[in-house]
Structure 1
Amino acid sequence: MNRRDGNGTGNEDEEAFLPGPTVQRVSAEKHNPVGLIVAVITFYFIISLSVVFLNKFIMSGSDFPYALFVTWYQLVVALVLLLIWAQAGKSYAILSIIPPYEFDLRIAKKVAPLTFVYVMMLALNNLCLKYVEVTFYQVARSLSINFTILFTYMILGKTTSMPAIVACGIVFLGFAIGSYGEINFSWAGIFYGVGSSAFVALYGIYVQKTLAAVDNNQWRLLHYNTTLAIIFLFPLVLFSGELSEILATKTEILSDMGFWALMTLTGVTGFGINIAMFLQVKYTSALTNTICGTAKACVQTVMAAMIFRNPISELNGLGILLALFGSGYYGWVRYKERVGK
């Protein structure tokens, strides 16, 4: 998934809770102050890493393993922030990047297929994070690149260059070796990771197909996708039994303001990833985005090993390195192809 061209590295923005900005580069990196670029990259790192670690902590460290409800609540928080931001933009020019909230049923029907893909992507993503260690999380969801190439050919009829296919081969090899070497292996985690990867790839394609319905305005799309996702996801929360189990067995947690503050914070970071990606696209280069995505994945793996003390076998470590290298190489290939056009 890439919110700029539909062919991303597969690691830089998959944690986002909302359909992030699909904007064209409006300024070259060399025209912006170094301090601004560093600040934008730092903000992206902090927000992106926070999304993953906060979600993992909620679903493992807080004895609240309800991935679907967690996702739904975070979407509600994100919608509230979207409404507040859009309203504030009427009075403060610096916040005017998000237009006033709108919801037209005719447009909503056109956005609905994208939202279905989006809901499946989010649900499977958090379910994957629930069952796998954070050190293995990137590997479990690394096949989004492979699915992107497959779906781009099947849906859009576009072929892929041989270097990009080689990169996908490296990623798949890393996935296979990493899965075999994972000490705390989980078939459920693998299933949800592969499923999430497939919907990540579909999402990147459907974003491009759906933007025309909102006059290519990514923030208007944000309004519809977030609202519809809340509506679509709630039945899943209800029929999965999560809501009834929460109300029956988690009464102490439900009255814990600290827990709700943490849940709300994850919603804030989920919304913040969209702002971070918007700033990166606007103020940095495509190459910087590629490097940042790969670097962030490396930092995420190292931090996970330090914070959660997840055991990493030699094969698992090799698989992680191959998956990260393949993702980074794929991003580099795509960057060179864009520059060469």
Structure 2
Amino acid sequence: MISLNLSPSLNPGLLHKTRTRQQNPTRLSSLLVSVDKPSINLGFSQIRDSAAKRPFLSLTNPSGFSSRSRSISATGSPDPNPDGDSDEAKNKKAKNLQLGIVFGLWYFQNIVFNIFNKKALNVFPYPWLLASFQLFAGSIWMLILWSFKLYPCPKISKPFIIALLGPALFHTIGHISACVSFSKVAVSFTHVIKSAEPVFSVIFSSFLGDSYPLAVWLSILPIVMGCSLAAVTEVSFNLGGLSGAMISNVGFVLRNIYSKRSLQSFKEIDGLNLYGCISILALVYLFPVAIFVEGSHWVQGYHKAIASVGKPSTFYFWVLLSGVFYHLYNQSSYQALDEISPLTFSVGNTMKRVVVIVSTVLVFRNPVRPLNALGSAIAIFGTFLYSQATAKKKKIEAGDEKKN
């Protein structure tokens, strides 16, 4: 089953690939087999080498390190290496190091996007155009990768395009609503409100027939309480900013739900290619509407922005970084999910939101009241409890499926 996750990233928990173990009858050892996807966040040379040497769905070690079998002694215990460390321990250390780098990139790229996106919106308060450019930058990025064969190009079919129409539409709604919120209130406040996305997910899924244990319902209570307290005490409170963040939550939740129903038969298309296709289709949705909504103000707003910044190159730099890093941090989130469980990813995503909130408060020096900070902390903690409760629910469901 394929789904989407970025928040504004797509729901990557549904794209977590199952790893299996195959037995080698001649060497009495297990080889880890998983679906590999070339990294596109660590440099073009890595992408080119990976795409040239491996097919789209190659059976190799996703961490990039060789998986070697260990010899078994007569007693059944593995023989240690001369330095006293087993191959498994070395591979684990290397994998942890790589995950640390991936998480670092993911957090760093998200922080850069939020900072320069807000800088651009402060002098050019036209989120529809800026959101369109961010989708445009991601579309151009993917087209370059596909054209120069730096990343495998997906096989596009008419049924796939039709199935993609709904998720891309809801992704467009979620993205533009978040940008509108960023333009009206502090970045930290928008992220606090967006932490309430699990509330909408539970409510909408319940209406569609899904059932949740009591622990999940209890976990959304601190989210609601924390967001309410943060909203009441927010210095930069704006009704448009609040409603934009709430609509963004609704858009991304509906995108995830719709993806489950329409894209589950297209498992051959990996997450990065899926997100690239959605970016292109979302741009087709958004840009014509952006011209209608605020197109008549762009020229005048551009001149005001240049006069405010002083140098045109500075304004161009902010806009360019907001577009490039919006796409990169979403790609890094998928790369992180390839190596960890959905639960670990969910916890990491919660911590990422904390890091972004703290970073933007420090950069823009937004005044934060004690009760506002307390409400934000309660909401984030509720999101953490929700990830724990839903993970237990999935584990129970998986156990029931095995019994049946």
Same fold by TM (over 0.5)? yes
Distance 1:225 1:14 in 2: 14
2:139 aligns with 79
Distance 1:161 1:181 in 2: 32
SS of 1:24's equivalent? coil
CA, structure 1 residues 230+287, in 2 after alignment: closer, same or farther (shift >3 Å)? closer
1:243 aligns with 2:295: yes
CA, structure 1 residues 270+198, in 2 after alignment: closer, same or farther (shift >3 Å)? same
CA, structure 1 residues 235+74, in 2 after alignment: closer, same or farther (shift >3 Å)? same
Shift of residue 309 of structure 1?
1.2
Shift of residue 159 of structure 1?
0.9
CA deviation profile, 1:183-202 (whole Å, cap 9, x unmatched) = 22111111111111111211
Report the number of matched residues.
Answer: 322
Seq. identity, %: 20
- Aligned counterpart for 1:145 among listed residues 189, 198, 203: 198
1:282 aligns with 338
Shift of residue 51 of structure 1?
2.2
Return the letter of the residue paired with 1:272. L
Give 5+ residue unaligned stretches, structure 2: 20-33, 35-61, 64-88, 399-404
What pairs up with 1:1-341 in 2 under 5 angstroms?
13-16=6-9, 22-26=15-19, 32=92, 33=94, 34-60=96-122, 63-88=123-148, 90=149, 95-96=150-151, 99-100=152-153, 104-155=157-208, 157-212=209-264, 214-217=266-269, 218-240=271-293, 242-251=294-303, 253=305, 256-340=312-396, 341=398
Shift of residue 302 of structure 1?
1.7
Distance 1:79 1:190 in 2: 29
CA deviation profile, 1:217-243 (whole Å, cap 9, x unmatched) = 134533432222111111221111x22
Of 131-140 and 104-113, the range deviating more from structure 2: 104-113
8 Å Cα contact 1:120-1:196 kept in structure 2: yes
8 Å Cα contact 2:2-2:259 kept in structure 1: no
CA deviation profile, 1:168-216 (whole Å, cap 9, x unmatched) = 1110011111111112211111111111111121111122223246445
Distance 1:249 1:204 in 2: 35
Give 5+ residue unaligned stretches, structure 1: none
Shift of residue 108 of structure 1?
2.4
8 Å Cα contact 1:4-1:24 kept in structure 2: no
CA, structure 1 residues 305+150, in 2 after alignment: closer, same or farther (shift >3 Å)? same
1 or 2, which has the higher strand percentage?
2
8 Å Cα contact 1:15-1:51 kept in structure 2: no
CA RMSD of aligned residues (A): 2.7
Distance 1:294 1:182 in 2: 21
Return the letter of the residue paired with 1:46. F
1 or 2, which has the higher helix percentage?
1
Distance 2:125 2:304 in 1: 15
Return the letter of the residue paired with 1:37. L
Return the letter of the residue paired with 1:130. S
CA, structure 1 residues 285+74, in 2 after alignment: closer, same or farther (shift >3 Å)? same
